Structure 1
Amino acid sequence: MIIKDKEGNIIGPKEEMHWETVETMMPINDTLKAKLSTKKFAAAWFVSHCNARSGRDLIAEELRTELAKFDMQVDIFGRCGTKECPRGSMKECLQLVETDYYFYLSFENSFAEDYVTEKLLNGLNHYAVPVVYGGANYTRFMPEGIYVTAEQTRIRELAEEMVDIINDKQKYYDFFKWHNHYSYHELRDSRDTDAYCKLCALVNNQEKYLTTSIYEDFTKWWTPENECV
């Protein structure tokens, strides 16, 4: 992931970021408001790795149950859900996030310091507020006030917070004020299945062994420029 300021300068991510606060950011324009006006479902999640060690599946299911009490819908796409996103159709599926979903579940499969995958970009770059669940210090990647955090102990409160944001247009608009100040970009050749990312996840999950295939992929792929964040 690369973060740029409005002049196109690369500013992060880095250990200490000096963000504009949401309160001082410029309000969004009418064009962006119109783009956000088509939203109709609470949240989407694209996932194929089921029963991850982080427990994200249980969090997603509990959140879906809580939001259903407010007649709001969470759709899970892929092997672990009931919605399909055919191989090769990710672009079209992410377009649905832009048009139909208020939030995107950026739930990591591994809890590790600063382990953040493309799931975060799926929300940020497709006009959905990220709901984050992971071990990273997310203020290295985003200013506070443009995302919400999922915690195992407060899923009911999270659902209520999301409903409140959905029902208050101005609150929802404020989550997108960052568009006036920053932009997010993928690292070249970066993807969720990069061998380096797999290695990070395995190490931080205290796996005893690294499979030969992952090791071979890692040694072929890794260069200092390709380290994932």
Structure 2
Amino acid sequence: MELQISSRVCQNLLITVALLICFSGIFYTYYQPNITWLKWPTVSRSNSCSEICISALKMPNQTEMVNNTCVVNIISIRNLLTQTEAVTQTDPDTILLIWMWPFGAKFDLGRCSSLFNIHGCRLTDNRSQFNNSHGVLFHHRNIREDDMPTLPRPLFQKWIWMNMESPSNSAPHSTLNNLFNLTATYRQDSDIMVPYGRISEKTGGSTTYKIPHKNKFVCWIVSNWSSKYKRSQYYENLNQHISIETYGHSVSRPVSKKDYLDLVSSCKFYLSFENSIHKDYITEKLYNPLKLGTVPVVLGPPRKNYEELIPGNAFIHVDDFSSPKELAEHLKLLDQNESLYRQYFTWREHFVASSTYFGLEHACWACDHIRRYKNYRVVRDLNSWYWG
């Protein structure tokens, strides 16, 4: 009998506390008292404090009996009230530590807000900030077992695994499993997906696109040549039917950064051939020609995968033709028919292509992700996910 009375008292106390919280929230929401220390989460009218409080009161009994003493657990109510709180620019900065520079290439750490409109994120490469950092970014190619953090890992800290190389061009590490919380790669199933480039809607409405002057037919810049690559074999066959201007270290015709832009934009078609074929592995070999006003001829994952990221009329896929000879005939036709060639530029009236800021973009979006999403996450079998 005494236990039943105590339980009833606990339930009444819970309801009383919940009502006090609700009335305070309603008062603050609607009357906006000028008290700086009273900080309730911003709640929209469509999801008002009163509605949240009512739903909280409908939750299962949150009282406990410990040594016949009533303990009221209102954590669930507090969590429910704060779960809609939005990230604001007045929140303390989220700190992301870049443990190693990707490929040793440094970038400006202060451009997240100006380039990507990401606020409240602070990037650092100062390892002494390890204990204060909300996230730590590790670049796969630079990971070494003798260069990993040795201090105890803070419970709130997330480790982000970054890799932009395809599985064929990066070797797995046996110690990667159960180590990271988030992934940042080119793959669409990553936690933080950062492609090699993007197609974005033009600001200011549609405009007519002026095709750059063309004085070359088909071009290809290649510095990593291997007869085992599918792209090398396809090139050899295609080159038997059309003339291809080939550049790069592999053919002793290197192209400087200064000359690259003018060269690619002067070609009617550019061979955007990937060095390995994997889902979502669509690199700057595609996005750079798109940005420079050249029609890319792609060899990589299936057309369907490309069309998940770029317009279908922005490129030519080798799989659309039964043979390199048939592709060569199609390119000749487009070269002779200006009207047909211009159809590959109609998407440019509404969209624009851009390239990724390698490393910086991964860091900024990773920081923004951990700032917004506080849930626990662990990548238990990274090796199987990426290389399996």
Provide TM-score, normalisation by structure 2. 0.39
Does 1:7 find its partner at 2:203? yes
Post-superposition offset of 1:176: 1.1
Does 1:80 find its partner at 2:255? no
**What is the distance in 2 between the residues matched to 1:54 and 1:63?**
14
Post-superposition offset of 1:95: 0.9
- 3-state SS of the aligned residue for 2:276? coil
- 3-state SS of the aligned residue for 2:235? helix
For structure 1, which runs of at least 5 residues remain unmatched after alignment? 9-25, 68-72, 192-198, 207-229
The 3 A distance-change label for structure 1 pair 53 and 153 is: farther
Asked which structure has the greater RCO (Cα within 8 Å, sep 6+), the reply is 1
Does 1:164 find its partner at 2:333? yes
Report if aligned partners of 2:198, 2:309 keep a CA contact under 8 Å in 1: no
Identity %, equivalent residues: 30
Post-superposition offset of 1:141: 2.2
Does 1:90 find its partner at 2:271? no
For structure 2, which runs of at least 5 residues remain unmatched after alignment? 1-196, 361-381
Mapping for residues 141-180 of structure 1, pairs under 5 Å: 141-151=309-319, 153-180=322-349
Post-superposition offset of 1:139: 0.2
- 3-state SS of the aligned residue for 1:84? coil
Does 1:56 find its partner at 2:56? no
Q: Which amino acid aligns with 1:93?
A: Y
Does 1:46 find its partner at 2:221? yes
The 3 A distance-change label for structure 1 pair 52 and 182 is: farther
The 3 A distance-change label for structure 1 pair 110 and 169 is: same
- 3-state SS of the aligned residue for 1:125? helix
**Segment of structure 1 superposing worse, 47-56 or 123-132:** 47-56
- 3-state SS of the aligned residue for 1:45? strand
Post-superposition offset of 1:63: 1.3
The 3 A distance-change label for structure 1 pair 82 and 75 is: farther
Mapping for residues 1-229 of structure 1, pairs under 5 Å: 1-7=197-203, 28=208, 32-33=210-211, 35=212, 38-51=213-226, 53-67=228-242, 73-81=243-251, 83-85=253-255, 89-99=256-266, 101-135=267-301, 137-151=305-319, 153-189=322-358
Larger Rg: 2
**What is the distance in 2 between the residues matched to 1:150 and 1:82?**
26
Report if aligned partners of 2:288, 2:355 keep a CA contact under 8 Å in 1: no
**What is the distance in 1 between the residues matched to 2:341 and 2:328?**
15
The 3 A distance-change label for structure 1 pair 134 and 53 is: farther
Aligned pair count reads 165
Partner of 2:134: none
Post-superposition offset of 1:160: 0.4
- 3-state SS of the aligned residue for 1:145? helix
**What is the distance in 1 between the residues matched to 2:273 and 2:252?**
17
**What is the distance in 2 between the residues matched to 1:103 and 1:155?**
15
The 3 A distance-change label for structure 1 pair 28 and 64 is: farther
**Segment of structure 1 superposing worse, 104-113 or 182-191:** 182-191
Which segments of structure 1 move beyond 4 Å, counting only runs of 4 or more?
26-29
Aligned-residue CA RMSD (Å): 2.8
Post-superposition offset of 1:168: 0.5
**CA-to-aligned-CA distance 1:43-94 (integer Å, 9 cap, x gap):** 1111111117541012112212211xxxxx3111112335331xxx223123
**What is the distance in 1 between the residues matched to 2:288 and 2:330?**
21
Q: Which amino acid aligns with 1:120?
A: L
Q: Which amino acid aligns with 1:62?
A: N
Provide TM-score, normalisation by structure 1. 0.64
**What is the distance in 2 between the residues matched to 1:130 and 1:90?**
19
Q: Which amino acid aligns with 1:177?
A: T
Report if aligned partners of 1:146, 1:176 keep a CA contact under 8 Å in 2: yes
Partner of 1:11: none
